[in-house]
Amino acid sequence: MNWQDEVSKRKESLFQDLYGLLRIPSVKDGQTSEPGAPMGKEIGRALDYMLELAERDGFRKANLEGYVGYAELGDSESDDYVAVLGHLDVVAATGDWTSPPYEPTMREGKLFARGAMDDKGPTLAAYYGMKMIKELGLSLQHNVRFIFGTDEESGSRCMARYRETEKLPLAGFTPDADFPIVHAEKGQINTRIVLGKRTSDPSVAVRTVAAQGTAASWRLLSFFGGGTANMVPESARAVLTAVETERLSEMAAAYSLYCESRGRKGAARIVAEQLVLSMEGKAAHGMEPELGINAALELVHFLVAHSFQEEAERFLRCVDQYLFEDYAGEALGIAFADEISGALTINSGILQFEPAGESFFHINLRYPVTDEASRILEAIAERVGKYGFVIEPPLLKKGHHVAKDHPMIGILQRVYQEMTGLAPVLLSTGGGTYAYHIGNGVAFGPLFPGKTSLAHQADEYIEVDDLLLSAAMYARAIYELANAEFHEQK
């Protein structure tokens, strides 16, 4: 079977259907949530669109109260099936776009639109893979179910509902990450670490008034950095004042020298006897904090060299000691790595200090699949507790891992290697996909090695040739998985 030839025959139809889906601005919207469309009107419209395609193409279909839908192929009387999972929701189209984000546009062999890469383009490519199998009349040992999710970008409530009512598949993949195969997803810990009014540990070397023999020279009035927990902060701002206001200019000059020495872009302004310091960094995804520049931690590192009131001292010294230029958790005593999923990473995406309000820093932590969240939290609590911080009840997500000897892994490796000529190495990620929710699930594409992704960014695109090759690989993968022998998932 020449799968690529079969895709070429359907290219015009594939893009016509994809354009229709991309024109729907399916961003989650609680204000338009209603029965049958719990994620909002536009996501509900996107789900209806895909289920209408499924009906047109002769698949069995189901709609689980608007949370999730599916199209099913095959005539097996067993309730076992293999699955493909795509999501129809997208993030908001912020930033400056060259062409309208919800009007698909071709330029230089690329299709530009919000969702072109994440995840509508790959979803339609995989859907057409299943559609080709049906049109070619190929026999299948197992049924195939294409699951259309609606809430991948903000909590995956769709898959939680699916698991409540549906049997899990024997195996499956989602076209929502990288090629070759992502078979491991790190566990995640998300929580705020909040500053109490005083520290109960006298061993902490905080420069108090008694220790200095004089009042603190500076007072921190506020500090804000970041705004999204799973992103590296690209901006931060601090407001401070001095006992001797003539020293404001001296501090502003010192800040300029600090920024110059570290190659950072910062600014200092004196306003009504207050000094306002701002810092610019570089945004990056929280699973790869080393790729960004954390503006908040850069600003803290400058401030910690000066003396402030006791509460501010504890905030600055704790943050600087345990987070500055430490993406692996070495200072917190939590560093760990394994061969399956690599090293632990930690990102602080939101930092706030308000003397009359809450002072905290948020951590977004990704840990290897063989590690334990309890070990990590205990170590963090011990260290930050010395400065009077407490950990709020965290949101936890366990790691996910499909063993390399699972039959599905071998099938996908063979498909990838034979159709691309590239080595089918196994990958891990600090991010999360629908694969996590189905047990024996992996991510399979759509991003090829060495290619750039603008998912979640302005001018998001997918390369046309890559989309077509993906569709061919998805068709072959679905066919081979649907005829493989699996042990039933318990």
pLDDT at 213: 37
| For residue 180, cis peptide bond before it (omega within 30 degrees of 0) | yes
pLDDT at 443 over 90: yes
pLDDT at 489 over 70: no
Which residue is it, tokens 């401030």? 303
Using a pLDDT cut of 90, give the percent of the chain over it.
Answer: 88
In a domain, 244, yes or no: yes
pLDDT at 212: 41
What is the pTM assigned to this prediction? 0.85
For 252, the 3-state DSSP assignment is: helix
**Domain end residue (candidates: 342, 371, 397):** 397
pLDDT at 197: 66
Banded model confidence at residue 175, pLDDT cuts 50, 70, 90 = very high
How far apart CA 325 and CA 322 sit, in angstroms, is 9
Mean pLDDT across 51-78: 96
In a domain, 84, yes or no: yes
Residues 234 and 124 in one domain: no
Residues 112 and 170 in one domain: yes
pLDDT at 209: 38
Alpha carbon of 169 to those of 103, 415, 428: distances in Å? 35, 20, 22
pLDDT at 107: 97
Q: Which residues are catalytic?
A: 89, 152
**Domain end residue (candidates: 351, 381, 397):** 397
| Beta strand spans in 196-248 (E) | 218-226, 235-242
In a domain, 487, yes or no: no
Exposed e or buried b per residue across 34-55, where buried means at least 16 C-beta atoms within 10 angstroms of its C-beta? eeebbbbebbbebbbbbbebbe
Mean pLDDT across 226-241: 94
Residues 370 and 223 in one domain: yes
Phi (first) and psi of residue 93, to 5 degrees: -90, 75
* Local structure of residue 347 (DSSP, 8 states): E
Bridge-based pairing of strands 274-280 and 265-271 is antiparallel
pLDDT at 198: 58
Residues 329 and 217 in one domain: yes
Lowest mean pLDDT among 4-13, 281-290, 317-326: 281-290
Residues 21 and 128 in one domain: yes
CATH value at residue 439: 3.40.630.10
- Continuous H helices in 194-288: 209-212, 248-262
CB of 350 within 8 A of CB of 226? Answer: yes
Tokens describing residue 349: 């995406």
Residues 259 and 357 in one domain: yes
Q: Which residues contact 341 (CB under 8 A, 6 or more apart)?
A: 184, 185, 186, 368, 369, 370, 399, 401, 428
How far apart CA 46 and CA 66 sit, in angstroms, is 10
Residues 304 and 415 in one domain: no
Banded model confidence at residue 388, pLDDT cuts 50, 70, 90 = very high
Q: Helix crossing, 248-262 with 295-303: angle to 10°?
A: 130
In a domain, 174, yes or no: yes
pLDDT at 210: 36
* Local structure of residue 471 (DSSP, 8 states): H
Name which of 388, 384, 336, 342 is nearest 363 in CA terms. 384
In a domain, 143, yes or no: yes
pLDDT at 113 over 50: yes
Tokens describing residue 234: 């690209």
pLDDT at 215: 59
CB of 58 within 8 A of CB of 67? Answer: no
Phi (first) and psi of residue 409, to 5 degrees: -60, -45
Banded model confidence at residue 201, pLDDT cuts 50, 70, 90 = low
pLDDT at 214 over 50: no
Mean pLDDT across 357-370: 96
Phi (first) and psi of residue 112, to 5 degrees: -100, 130
How far apart CA 88 and CA 56 sit, in angstroms, is 19
Residues 193 and 162 in one domain: no
pLDDT at 457: 87
For 86, the 3-state DSSP assignment is: strand
Q: How many domains does the chain have?
A: 2
pLDDT at 246: 86
Q: Which residues contact 315 (CB under 8 A, 6 or more apart)?
A: 195, 220, 223, 353, 359, 387
Bridge-based pairing of strands 446-447 and 177-178 is parallel
pLDDT tens-digit readout, 26-52: 999 999 999 999 999 999 999 999 999
Residues 289 and 437 in one domain: no
In a domain, 430, yes or no: yes
Banded model confidence at residue 211, pLDDT cuts 50, 70, 90 = very low
CB of 316 within 8 A of CB of 279? Answer: no
Question: Which range of residues forms the domain containing residue 295?
Answer: 187-397
In a domain, 370, yes or no: yes
CB of 220 within 8 A of CB of 353? Answer: yes
Residues 171 and 59 in one domain: yes
pLDDT at 74 over 80: yes
pLDDT tens-digit readout, 292-307: 999 999 999 999 999 9
Please give the residue that has the higher pLDDT: either 430 or 24.
Answer: 24
CATH value at residue 280: 3.30.70.360
Per DSSP, what are the bridge partners of residue 226? Answer: 350
Banded model confidence at residue 323, pLDDT cuts 50, 70, 90 = very high
Tokens describing residue 59: 């698949």
Name which of 277, 273, 216 is nearest 247 in CA terms. 273
DSSP for 288-339, please give it.
-GGGSB-HHHHHHHHHTTS---HHHHHHHHHHHHHHTT-SS-TTTT---EET
Residues 135 and 272 in one domain: no
pLDDT tens-digit readout, 259-271: 999 999 999 999 9
For 142, the 3-state DSSP assignment is: coil
pLDDT at 412 over 70: yes
In a domain, 490, yes or no: no
Which residue is it, tokens 């993406």? 327
Name which of 489, 482, 490 is nearest 84 in CA terms. 482
Banded model confidence at residue 89, pLDDT cuts 50, 70, 90 = very high
Largest CA distance in the chain: 86
Phi (first) and psi of residue 221, to 5 degrees: -90, -30
Bridge-based pairing of strands 81-87 and 143-149 is parallel
Phi (first) and psi of residue 88, to 5 degrees: -100, -10
Residues 180 and 59 in one domain: yes
**Domain end residue (candidates: 346, 379, 397):** 397
Polymer length in residues for the chain: 490
Which residue is it, tokens 């402030």? 308
